[in-house]
Structure 1
Amino acid sequence: MPKRPSLLASVRAGRRALRVTVAAAVGFYPALYLLDQPVAAVYALFAPIAFGLLSPVPGSGRARAGTVLRALPGAAALTAIGTVLAASTWTAVAGMLVVSFMLTFGAACGPRLSGTAPGLQLFYILACFPPYAPDTLPQRLAGVAVGMTVLALVEMTLLPDPAQPSYSGRISDALDLAARAADDLVRAAPSGLAARLRQTGRELRFSQQPAGSRPTGAGRTDRALAQAGSATRRLLDQLAALSELPVVRADLASNELLREIAAACRDTAGILRRVRPVAGPEVIEEMIDQFLAVRGAPGDPRSAATHALLRRQSTVLTIAVSAVTVRTAVALAVGGRRPVHGLPREQFWYAGTGTVRLWLVRVAGLFTRRSVTFQNAWRTALGLALARLVAGWLDLAHGFWVLLAVLTLGRTTAVATWSAVRSAAIGTFTGACAAGLFVAGAGGGSDLYAYLMAPVMLVAFTVGPLEGPAWAQGLFTLVVTMAFAQIAPVTWQLAEVRLVDVLTGSAIGLLCGLLAWPAGARAEIRRSARQLLIATAPLVRATVSAAATGRGGSSAGHEVAAQALWLTRHRLRIAEGAYAQYRTELPPRAAEGGPDWLAALNYGVRVLVGAYWLPRMSTQDGLPSAARRWVRQASEEVEGAARRVADFPPEGLHVRLSPLPSDVAAEVPARVLPLLIDMETWLIALTTDLQAATGHGGEGAAPSGPHADGTRR
């Protein structure tokens, strides 16, 4: 049974419907009845619908008003382009193909465009249909300007929604909690914050944020905020893991570093709140260097006490690394373009890159056949272009309803599209029957349409978004019937035209859904996760080799590591996009077991974190030969396991790393033993992620220990 809308969702829908109705009425009625400009009235009517319902712009009232006004030049340009290209069916189809692809693909590159792309497409759709009347362009542009301006004013003044908490504010609150947890760990006080730390980390996922507050843009600020959020989640998980480790009373080096971490978290939270000046991570970097110089444990390296101490120190070190990452990313987000001396250049590659270059990198990274962003853009563009061709070829009256059906009913899977189309067909048929009966009873010239249109819009715009395609299409049929009945005399056949157009558009959308990537993200998440796991294999080997052989290393090894880093980051972004869409798609039936795609993504991020920082922890001479042989063997085991897991066998796969032999640890000098433990814990964590990725590791099987990624979304 479908879940009923909550009271809060119903209230929000009613407020939004009231704003859209008022804006549409204020633009439509004066243009039609006072100025006798029916063309301007149509565009003034559809402008609030486009940006109030078809593209529900997120954010507070003031933020939405600003977004609508910024979109006004684009809407005017698309109206003009559509008016010119309406000269022939083929030019209109070509324009539809280009405009739709650019808007849909571009929406994935930034949150502002993603909130307005469907609404912007509506203006080209309206303008590209016959009659070819370039002389009406001034009226069209006037209607667009009036409709969007009135909507912006209404958004700010009529029951405006409150401002949403910013993502930076959520990060700063999480950092305050991290500082408190670090202080408790120094005092060895049982704070009981582990569950709260993990819960706060989960709340920083993008899936838990309102659409308007997610830093998903391609620019430096959004990239830095996204990285800061990811590192903060990692920081919280690692603090929770440290609180669950045995307490080591004599670990003075770790306690000193934890104090500095707590201070850095408080300062970083103040930077995000703009109450402290922007500063880099230099202080905590110095503390890390001091920690690396003094950490270690006297006594027998094979003893459990020594191992416990080194494991705790390794965890504290990874917490410090996460704190450095957060501090640096926040400095880039708030302070703008700045150098990041002494830090892994690959981790903050965007720090010195220009905005245009960053956008080009985003576009190039997504412009691949295996990207769900690319697939969705092509599916939408081809569907709308085909709909425009069919509507022009068949000379359908009000043919833009065909394209509107494709635009609003298209889904990322064929199953979901069929479900939406089926509901929309039922709703449109019911609405067409009701509209036909109403027109037959009211007559063509009755003023009853003008009196009832606004109340019907209010009901339609409230109920439709809450109850789904059937109600939305049925009620919208009544709205458009009453609107066009005021512009020109109509008969009950207008409802019939509406039904035919919606069914035509539904058929076209369903056909595209069947032919163009019908499985949606389900097929792509398996493929992209497999490619990610394979891409990480050489990076694990290169990381272990670089850390084990010392700070020198060969140029060939650096080149292999650089190539593996780039490929892993690229594969990870493709996989993250597929997973984000996968989370929005309802499976045909509830499935038990199966691969854990999130664990596979976490494995990829964990590999990157280790690749960024483990080589920096190595000593000048590296590990002794026996220890090198073990880490090389262990890395080969992880590499082989990643390749086997990449096939995601239905029966699962048992993944376990060979333990570090005690005689090998005994031969390692005290100053180098901590590095060996760092590498051991990293490799063990990787195998745990791989085990979880097979779907047989249990919920939350990947621990939040050293080098844990904290990227669960």
Structure 2
Amino acid sequence: MTRRFSRAGSAFPPLREFTRTVRAAIPQLRFSDPGLAALRSAARAAVVMPAVFAFADKVIGNPQTATFAAFGSFAMLVLVDFTGPIRSRFLAYLGLAAAGAVNIALGTLCSRNAWVAAAAMAVVGFAILFSGAINGYFAAAGTSALLTFILPVTISAPFSEVPARLEGWGLAAAAGICAHMLLWPTRPRAGLRRDAAKAAGALAEVLEAELGGDREAIPSREQVAREAVAGLRRSYLTAPHRPSGPIGPTAAAASLVDELDWLKSFLVPGPAFSSLALGREENVEALAATASVLQASAATLAGRDARPDFPRLDAARDAVAEYEIARISESPASLDDDVLGSALEPTFRIRAVSYSARQVAGYALVASGKPAPELDDLDVAGGDFAIRPARAAVKATERLATEHAGGGSVWLRNSLRGAAGLAVAVFIAQRTGLQHSFWVVLGTLSVLRSNALGTGWSVLTALAGTAVGILIGAGLVIAIGTHEAVLWGVLPAAVLLAAYAPRAISFAAGQAGFTVVLFILFNIIQPVGWRVGVVRIEDVAIGFAISLGVGLLFWPRGAAALLRENLAAAYGRSADYVVATTREIIDEADPGSSAALGQTAATALHRLDDAFRQYLAERSATSMNLEEVGGLVAGAARIRRAAQSLSVLGRMTGDDARLTRCGANLDDEIYALRSWYVTLGDSFLHSTAIPPPHIRDTQGRARLLECVRAAVSGDGANARSALVLLWANQHLDALWRLESHLGRLAAQASTPAEAEPA
């Protein structure tokens, strides 16, 4: 059996990567900066950073202030660029400025003793890196925040220097915030919301074609809808940080991805399914209300003023259910296989898409910052947030921290590895008395990867970039000599290169640009000529060696192994949740008794998302099977969403008696489904055979029908509970059909990709 998600191609991936990089170099220079966003950001840094440094160096005249003003400007202008609404970005920059001030004071306090400095680096490094799991802004600010501690803790100084250092950082932070807000400001990007609006609109157009009877337009609109939902899922999974803050808009935006994918699975299920039975007035009204709500959701996500008509949708959905209840109670003898299957399936799908559209609309409102009192209690985006936002934020943050406290969390592993590497680097730099010891730590930070191979390749590219930067910088210094005015004239161009290269060209080019900036800065502050380059390459080489050693020690296999573990866990926990919610429908269990399993399934899916992002980020990850692996990640989310829908369906019974005796006929099917999904997860984890779809329990299905027919005969008092059981069986049918799809994806994902020609 081939190993799941293996690295494809030659036996020496770095060589293949190098040849690929060389071939792609010229196209990258041309096309890797869409919209010139990287160029605008680099130009902003090239204008502001030299100006701040000049003011600190020439007007204030304190070397500590000048150093922290220069590197603080780099941290504020180059290493971070927050996105989102203007107010959120402004508050994020203010928060980074405050955190940086605390880090500088603490780092200076700890800088006089190597052991204390290393211990403080470990604690602060872990806290900064792990906080990224809680909020996307924390993750985006991680490198800048780390720099504000690395610099003071590695440049030893008495605590009396703190005011001068804070003065430099204050200048840098103030200038950086003003530049970000006023000088070529980043336009608020709502990429995920834009893609969600496109997907919601495309799904609404499918319904409108169904309602209009335009049979020729339906196939093309279904294809557009599939592509729009797939594009939304791809944007979500390939984002560097999962847009899932603990509460409110970010959590709602993340929930939209799963909800729209779930809605699509029922609205566009495939050619084998019948249309949505438009003949009855109840069905037509329900689909019309659903289309209207989806169009309003798309408008809301696109920034327009629209309000979904929830009362109309709820009334229409209830009317569909009441019609089915009346039909069952009035003519139980008609409950044959046709009703259980093809006749009941369209109304089941209508209920599913109408309820899912309601959820989409609620998430769209919250994601857009609008109140949504109509949200169901089940929704993760609502709850206490509208009433007690501070309390809800604390509770949700605690929950997220708990989610990532286990060994299966990418955030925990990355944070531990990063904290250990930085602490070791600080200790070695302090004990060896290197001339510019913070370069050792910066070298460690810049190339840490999730596995030893990725780190090793980063070391090669970083050293190559540093060497090129040294050649360029040394050439400039030799040519310029001691002409300080010329060095000041070259500095903006060097900053422009250092800020632009890593985003638009390559990691190695960024290392080269940063090295040139350091050459010029240190020859302005303390002229030492070309020898500063020799010191830098010695120090960063030590830092690279530390990062490689830490990668081998903490995570030699990288994210591929963790991805397999998290896939297995997500499928297993989501299947458990399906069993629990189905048992709530069958038994007299209290509604919500499955809540703990639901939270466990959500935790497993969050970890799976993060592991997949790490897998994508690794330089050794292949691009050949990413679509299939992404489909498997989405499949786990779909199972959990089925369990949530079953939980809501169980509430429809109300105070009516459960048909426990009838529901017992679903037991074998429920546990056969669970067994299949758990076995699928084990096949990822242990590279065993992918299981074929399980054999349906046809006898249990026949007994269920016979029992329901007997239960509703007479006065039809149990008709509502009977409908709930029959619709629950439809959910199980959908999960059985999903098995074939996931099996094909797993088989394709397990096939090693072909090596690219050299």
Q: TM-score range with shorter-chain normalisation? A: 0.7 to 0.9
Instruction: Determine the structure 2 residue equivalent to 1:307.
Output: 341
Question: Which of 188, 213, 237 in structure 2 is aligned with 1:188?
Answer: 213
Check the 8 A contact 2:418/2:445 in 1, yes or no. Answer: yes
> Cα 1:380–1:346, aligned 2, differ >3 Å: closer, same or farther?
closer
Check the 8 A contact 1:110/1:218 in 2, yes or no. Answer: yes
Which protein has greater RCO, CA pairs closer than 8 Å, 6+ apart?
2
Whole-angstrom CA distance in 2 between matches of 1:109 and 1:423: 31
Whole-angstrom CA distance in 1 between matches of 2:247 and 2:209: 37
Instruction: Determine the structure 1 residue equivalent to 2:138.
Output: 113
> Cα 1:290–1:334, aligned 2, differ >3 Å: closer, same or farther?
same
> Cα 1:592–1:194, aligned 2, differ >3 Å: closer, same or farther?
closer
- 1:332 Cα offset (Å): 5.0
Whole-angstrom CA distance in 1 between matches of 2:186 and 2:406: 38
Deviations for 1:223-268, whole angstroms, at most 9, x for unmatched residues?
2333244323433443223897323353333222112222333444
> Cα 1:470–1:165, aligned 2, differ >3 Å: closer, same or farther?
closer
Question: Which of 668, 671, 674 in structure 2 is aligned with 1:633?
Answer: 668
Check the 8 A contact 2:237/2:612 in 1, yes or no. Answer: no
> Cα 1:467–1:106, aligned 2, differ >3 Å: closer, same or farther?
same
Instruction: Determine the structure 1 residue equivalent to 2:10.
Output: none
SS of the residue corresponding to residue 548 of structure 2 reads: helix
Check the 8 A contact 1:14/1:462 in 2, yes or no. Answer: yes
The letter for the 1-side match of 2:491 is M
Instruction: Determine the structure 1 residue equivalent to 2:434.
Output: 396
- Asked if residue 253 in structure 1 is aligned to residue 286 in structure 2, the reply is no
Check the 8 A contact 2:262/2:641 in 1, yes or no. Answer: no
Deviations for 1:560-596, whole angstroms, at most 9, x for unmatched residues?
x333223222222222222232233344557769976
> Cα 1:243–1:176, aligned 2, differ >3 Å: closer, same or farther?
farther
The letter for the 2-side match of 1:245 is F
Check the 8 A contact 2:242/2:610 in 1, yes or no. Answer: no
Mean Cα displacement is larger for which, 448-457 or 585-594? Answer: 585-594
SS of the residue corresponding to residue 33 of structure 2 reads: helix
Alignment of 1:616-631 (within 5 A): 616-618=651-653, 620-623=656-659, 625=661, 627-631=662-666
- 1:465 Cα offset (Å): 3.1
Deviations for 1:83-141, whole angstroms, at most 9, x for unmatched residues?
12212222221221111111111112112222212101101111112331333322222
Check the 8 A contact 1:47/1:147 in 2, yes or no. Answer: yes
SS of the residue corresponding to residue 132 of structure 1 reads: coil
Question: Which of 644, 657, 671 in structure 1 is aligned with 2:679?
Answer: 644
Instruction: Determine the structure 2 residue equivalent to 1:580.
Output: 613
Instruction: Determine the structure 2 residue equivalent to 1:144.
Output: 169
- Asked if residue 41 in structure 1 is aligned to residue 69 in structure 2, the reply is no
Mean Cα displacement is larger for which, 655-664 or 126-135? Answer: 655-664
- Report the aligned-residue RMSD: 3.4
Check the 8 A contact 2:83/2:89 in 1, yes or no. Answer: yes
Question: Which of 26, 31, 37 in structure 1 is aligned with 2:56?
Answer: 31
Question: Which of 581, 584, 589 in structure 2 is aligned with 1:546?
Answer: 584
Alignment of 1:566-605 (within 5 A): 566-587=599-620, 597-598=632-633, 600-605=635-640
TM-score by length of 1: 0.87
- Asked if residue 469 in structure 1 is aligned to residue 522 in structure 2, the reply is no
Instruction: Determine the structure 2 residue equivalent to 1:217.
Output: 245
- 1:622 Cα offset (Å): 4.1
> Percent same amino acid at aligned positions?
21
Instruction: Determine the structure 2 residue equivalent to 1:17.
Output: 42
SS of the residue corresponding to residue 518 of structure 1 reads: coil
Whole-angstrom CA distance in 2 between matches of 1:167 and 1:27: 36
SS of the residue corresponding to residue 206 of structure 2 reads: helix
Whole-angstrom CA distance in 2 between matches of 1:691 and 1:347: 32
Whole-angstrom CA distance in 1 between matches of 2:193 and 2:174: 30
SS of the residue corresponding to residue 547 of structure 2 reads: helix
> Cα 1:58–1:51, aligned 2, differ >3 Å: closer, same or farther?
farther
Alignment of 1:176-575 (within 5 A): 176-190=201-215, 191-192=217-218, 193-205=221-233, 207-208=235-236, 215-241=243-269, 245-247=273-275, 248-269=277-298, 281-295=310-324, 300-302=334-336, 304=338, 307-330=341-364, 344=378, 354-444=392-482, 446-549=484-587, 553-554=588-589, 559=593, 561-575=594-608
Check the 8 A contact 2:204/2:292 in 1, yes or no. Answer: yes
Instruction: Determine the structure 1 residue equivalent to 2:734.
Output: 685
The letter for the 2-side match of 1:457 is V
- 1:673 Cα offset (Å): 6.1
Alignment of 1:124-163 (within 5 A): 124-163=149-188
SS of the residue corresponding to residue 163 of structure 1 reads: coil
Check the 8 A contact 1:86/1:127 in 2, yes or no. Answer: yes
Check the 8 A contact 2:73/2:173 in 1, yes or no. Answer: yes
Instruction: Determine the structure 2 residue equivalent to 1:704.
Output: none
SS of the residue corresponding to residue 647 of structure 1 reads: helix
Whole-angstrom CA distance in 1 between matches of 2:237 and 2:669: 39
Deviations for 1:369-407, whole angstroms, at most 9, x for unmatched residues?
211111111111111111000100111111111111111
TM-score by length of 2: 0.82
Check the 8 A contact 1:456/1:478 in 2, yes or no. Answer: yes
Whole-angstrom CA distance in 1 between matches of 2:278 and 2:411: 52
Whole-angstrom CA distance in 1 between matches of 2:660 and 2:97: 66
SS of the residue corresponding to residue 185 of structure 2 reads: coil
- 1:61 Cα offset (Å): 8.2
Check the 8 A contact 1:39/1:143 in 2, yes or no. Answer: yes
> Cα 1:604–1:578, aligned 2, differ >3 Å: closer, same or farther?
farther
> Cα 1:512–1:273, aligned 2, differ >3 Å: closer, same or farther?
same
Whole-angstrom CA distance in 2 between matches of 1:539 and 1:162: 41
- 1:501 Cα offset (Å): 0.8
> Cα 1:48–1:608, aligned 2, differ >3 Å: closer, same or farther?
farther
Check the 8 A contact 2:340/2:726 in 1, yes or no. Answer: no
- 1:212 Cα offset (Å): 10
Whole-angstrom CA distance in 2 between matches of 1:275 and 1:111: 25
Whole-angstrom CA distance in 2 between matches of 1:197 and 1:679: 26
Check the 8 A contact 2:586/2:664 in 1, yes or no. Answer: no
Q: Work out the number of aligned pairs and report it.
A: 694
Gaps of 5+ in 2: 1-19, 713-718, 750-758
Check the 8 A contact 1:232/1:326 in 2, yes or no. Answer: yes
Alignment of 1:63-74 (within 5 A): 67-74=92-99
Alignment of 1:669-680 (within 5 A): 669=709, 671=719, 674-680=723-729
- 1:143 Cα offset (Å): 1.5
- 1:637 Cα offset (Å): 1.0
Check the 8 A contact 2:292/2:308 in 1, yes or no. Answer: no
Instruction: Determine the structure 2 residue equivalent to 1:51.
Output: 76
The letter for the 1-side match of 2:610 is G
Whole-angstrom CA distance in 2 between matches of 1:65 and 1:637: 53
SS of the residue corresponding to residue 54 of structure 1 reads: coil
Instruction: Determine the structure 2 residue equivalent to 1:710.
Output: none
The letter for the 2-side match of 1:573 is H
> Cα 1:66–1:7, aligned 2, differ >3 Å: closer, same or farther?
farther
> Cα 1:532–1:150, aligned 2, differ >3 Å: closer, same or farther?
same
- 1:659 Cα offset (Å): 5.5
